Structure 1
Amino acid sequence: MTFDRVKAFESLRQALTTAPLLLMTDFKLPFKLYIDASGDGLGSALHQVQIINDKPVEGPIRFISRQIKPTEARYGASQMECLCLVWALGKLNYFMEGCIFEVITDFTAIKLLLNMKTPSRNMLRWKIALQEYKGNMTIVHQHGDSHKNSDGISRELLPKILNILLMCPKKLPPRSQ
């Protein structure tokens, strides 16, 4: 084997065996729920800060995502972000119920939307669904550049993967010995 192939194998093995490892859930500690909605889908990452080797380490517990439905494709950015929050809390309810957690979003107006005086039917329905978490949930804005853990899983990657596969050669070059 050539040096390049050995190096590539070692880096692949390192990536597959080290990161990102999912943390075991500690229900005594608060959670961080990262949410993001895009024109392609909804994505969420549930994290927790735990003490590992005497250092605080924030790590993932669960990643969830889904494509948006045709009717949801007509929603505006504010409705999409609220939909993502309600959907993520519904999917991760068994973690969030009764626990303190932060919702981290790259959409600044989500706090205002939840306090609207005359919301639309969807917003009203979602606002009622979020009442269950009102005392335990804090919404925090994080700028989009540093909001990458849930941003990537809310995007549709299949067309990009197919384009990469089409660019790859059909046959690999023969191994040099």
Structure 2
Amino acid sequence: MDTALVFWNNIIFSCGVPKIIIRDRNPKFTSEIWTNLYEMLGTKIAFSTAYHPQTDGLAERMIQTMEDIIRRFCAYGMEYKDHEGYTNNWVTLLPEV
């Protein structure tokens, strides 16, 4: 649910509703919450080919980079001040990364 709220608050409000989303088959993003959200927004979903390194390579590299940055924020005690005060919660930090 946290990820869906981050998506709603930071992607939809900032960039608008995406026409299509290409994603892998991670069960977290195939849940009923996501399915209902995509249907409500009229967003089409396309799945990448399962276990296909060429398809997943760029996405996996971006995820690795984001994990490294978030890890540094948390490991070095860096905190980001949002409207509710300081936090090192990764869900709050993700849009800043």
Q: Which has the larger radius of gyration?
A: 1
| TM-score where L is the length of structure 1 | 0.26
Relative to total residues, which structure has the larger helix share, 1 or 2? 2
Relative to total residues, which structure has the larger strand share, 1 or 2? 1
| TM-score where L is the length of structure 2 | 0.38
